[in-house]
Structure 1
Amino acid sequence: MFKKHVTEVNSSPLSGKDVKTLKKDIQTTYRLSDEQVKRLFPSKADLVVQKLSNKAKTFACTGENPLFFDPDGRGNVLLPTVYALWQCPELLPKIYTYSEVSPKVLGGADLFLQGFIVSDDSPGEFNSGDVRVVAVPGNPFPFALGTMETSSEAVATSGMKGKGLKLLHHYPDLLWGLGDKTTPDSSFTPLRIFPQAEQSSPAGAANGHAASPAAASKEPLAAAQSSQDPPTPSAGAPAAASTVADSKAEDAAEQDEPMSMDEIVERCLLGGLLAVPEAELPLMASDFYTKYMLPCRPSGANVDIKKSTYKKLSKLLTKYEKKGMLTQKLIRKQDYLATVDREHTGLQGAAAQAADDKAAAASQAEADAAESSQQAATGSSASGSVPRMDVTFMYRVPTSLKPIFGDAWTKEQLFSQAEVASHLREYNQEQGLAEGSEVKLDELFVGNLYNKKEPQQAGNLDDFDEVLRRLLGKLQQFHRVLRQSPQGPVEVVRKGTPKNISIQMEDRQGGRKHITRVAHVESFAIEADDLATMLQRKLQTNASVTKLPGKTETDKEIALQGSVMQDVAKFLLDSYGIDGSFIDMKNRSKG
């Protein structure tokens, strides 16, 4: 619930009576000792309540990190933030997952039952709706919190399949971003959560690793927790990170050799079979290729099945159907992936290989981050690549077109273009409207996608691409900007297309001096005040920030002394990955 752009609407101090009530409720609900309550809320600290733009409320000591939040703002429940969980890790029962799975959760994905580590004490007894926190074996600090989607009784009868935990809050989401953005120790990275034994030692300072302020305040608790043994995975569970690490040396020689196109498409297929949820089967083969195979391609590799010996996706699927990994079926003359045998030895081997790849990628990312930090500390020039920034167009669906999206539709839900196309195909199949590459129009299409003066009527055929184009034109467009920062992923969602950053240079004092104005950086998840501070320090110039004129305008403008237009553009590229296609530059000076 903290994936989208969330801002503070207002904050107000709590009265002494409300503070006592809040502390008593939290102590009773979570069975805290007086010492734990004092650790969370020092006796002389003032408490404030913050109202957020998504209707949630947070509670914190003045000037400190948010410790508890009310998801809907109605006072029904108070849940701890990761900052509170790092001070008191035993506030809620834990669910353990693999370090290799943590990147998915850090990206905001719900945790499926297949990702749980099953042991004598985990996940234990639970009912649907129970609150649980998520941690990695060997690391006492939870990194996510959510509600169970099923019960332990249902799991006992149906097995460990399906959605297990619906995510409410996690590191490093926007609720975490409202605090000081510290982490317990170096085992927490924006890309992955590691066991403490792999990333840091209890005596971090003694080993030359500087602990963050938050970590320093938690050292006694961390020492107490480290004495507890993490859960031991059952025999049927996937291999843990330590087992995967043992095979890295054996695979190093193979990874040095370039992969053939056959090997690439086969790896993509296996990765896709592991990733596709059971709930989406049967799935059209072309959708399976786009949504699940292509995202599994090796880093830096291009996938072109026509350049392989298979030539067609159908031949590739048929080969692995003969091996018993999958089954296909023909639905209205379209090829569909029907079932996946996840117990097949070939898929289990692919799962181990995927875990190995993730571990290697995360380790490399950590090494690159450490190298960049060291270079920044010594003042050396940056040798890394430009930070990555992704701009994705999203669409909100009006009520009139809700039938096309079925149960996936909600009033606030945003869909990517690929998801819109997928739902359109599914609707056509369910309604019997699919005619090869064409669509048989029904009353819904004619009434909503075509003008009254156009000749199309129910029963006519039209190209699928044309129907999709018209459908996208009827949806409300948004854009999502996702970029990486030293503190973790930063995301902003806004209506319409992204407004380009404006950089203008003007004359001052009859042309003797210049001023450079920068506006609309908020479109790319950048705070104008923060950017002004960095540019002032980087360019050694004066900077001021003012609100742009206009009743509906919410962005700010940065004014920099001097002719620094090109310097600002270069800084935006080097620091944020924003290239010239997203920047409008105008030189209005006469010189």
Structure 2
Amino acid sequence: MFAKAFRVKSNTVVKGSDRRKLKTDISTAFSSLSAGDVNHLVPNKEELNIVKIYTHKGDAATLYVLHKNPIFFQLEKQLFPTVYTLWRFPDMLPALTTWPPVLQKLAGGADLMLPGVVVSSSGLPEVNQGDCCAVNLVMNRAPVAVGTAAMSSAAMRNSGMKGKGVNILHTYMDQLWAFGDKSNPPVIPVTDSMAQVETEECEEGMTVDGQTSEGQDNPEPTTVETSCQSMQELTLTEQDAQVLKDEELVDDEGEDTDGEENDSRSPQEQMDALLFQCFLHALKTKVKKSELPLLTSNFLRNHMVSCCPRGKQIDIKKSSYKKLSKFLQCMQRDHSLVQVKELSKGVESIVEVDWKNPELSSFSTPEDCRHESVEEGGACEVSFQPPEITPLYGVTARLEPLFQDARKRKGATLKASEVRNIIIDYVKKCELVNETNKNYVNINPTLCDCLLEKSEYHDVEKLMWDDLITRTLSKMQACHEVLVPGQPPMVKKGQMEPIEITVASRGSNKKVTIIKNLEAFGLDPAVVADILQHRVQASCILQDSPGVKNKVLVQVQGNQIQHVGKILLDQYHIPRKYVQGLDKAPKPGKKK
């Protein structure tokens, strides 16, 4: 589940009441923990954060983070411990044992298959289908994966140890582990009986899928060396971890999980190439001569990052340069692409760009540039198509007799032009046009019941055409149709709610700008927040919208209504009538 990078939605400090609830939930879910263990996991006086995220598949999850390490994660109201917690309490969950090479498969997103499970002399731990369980390696009880049992222990034994054993959710070396301090698992010795069983199996030539090599059919034969590794060797080194992280892994069916071709270059060489590509891309499509001199930090944050291809992330520390200044010095010294000077003490700026440089002029913009590219005029900026919003009118029970001839029953939705045509056809069919003045329509009993108020029953005998249409529309149910490009049209009751921009005060009279209802117009709040953060250079966060499920609001420091309005109106082309609050923008000061 965390094999690929996830997106952080919000990060807040847990309140006292939520802390107590978390302790109760932990005690209920994990009965093996004592009250002291729970207090040790969730201390009262230390800062505990709750981080809401979206996985790469779009699933919502909640992380509980202590001392910068995630200790629990919650999926669909079920708590699961992370490997950091299990290393402190290795007996917290029932654990299945497997071989070290299997860990590479699990870290790549595969589930644990029963042929890869090593069974000790004491047998399998007792679990029911769906129970939370852990996975450890032979000769080390420190868990390396967390998941749910795909079947009960009895079903595993009855199946002859064939099929899926554990649905893996989180592993050592995945992105959730990388969200913490990236420490390695400790070495926790196994019991003597278990160690004896594992040693005997190693000597007999045990394969990865848990069957001996003597006469057994092996669907996925990946053999292990006959000599068992020591406990120290079972703990992956940092170098092994890096290789594991960057190696292209396949799942248990032999399919490529990332769908990308193998890259023979080292991770450092790949990062160097990515930096150079984004550097050339930014110079060619983002940087304008009028912007020079340009701070190197702004160049990286505002230009290079937005040119990074989808699925990749710039990390200079993983390159051979280690620092942005050294990278730019290389671009100046070896490629003569830019000139960098220290215009003020400790602050470097790009003062000149060689636009005619052969490497720059021959560079072609890649097709897989990021959708979040935000700078105006950039070649990679994806033009956003705003949704088409069409007002509709629903037939009510009172008006149903008026629409009976048109076969429109209660609940049917119509456009204003369709309503007008139906009313005209009805008037002509019933011959209600006033003979004296054709601008008027005579009122018959049906029109009287549908359109007139009780006080008008005896006084109003005719209506003008416009008044007739207006009365009809006003007495119908207001609806609207939203057509987002690439999606089927959605019809909703009521008027279309606009994007609401408000300014609120926080502590010490600090102003924040809050943007609501972006999702209704097909906008991703995270993308808008990223654009706004780069545009105004201010803190920008996402929060759950109060009282509304599955919607979030964007909060940015300061009164940024002018910038928000420019993004929504000019970049996303949202009609002005659907943006509420633009009148609260700060007014420019008077010129002296």
What is the TM-score of this pair, normalised by structure 2? Answer: 0.43
Higher-Rg member (1/2): 2
What is the TM-score of this pair, normalised by structure 1? Answer: 0.43
Task: Point out the structure with the larger helix share.
Answer: 1
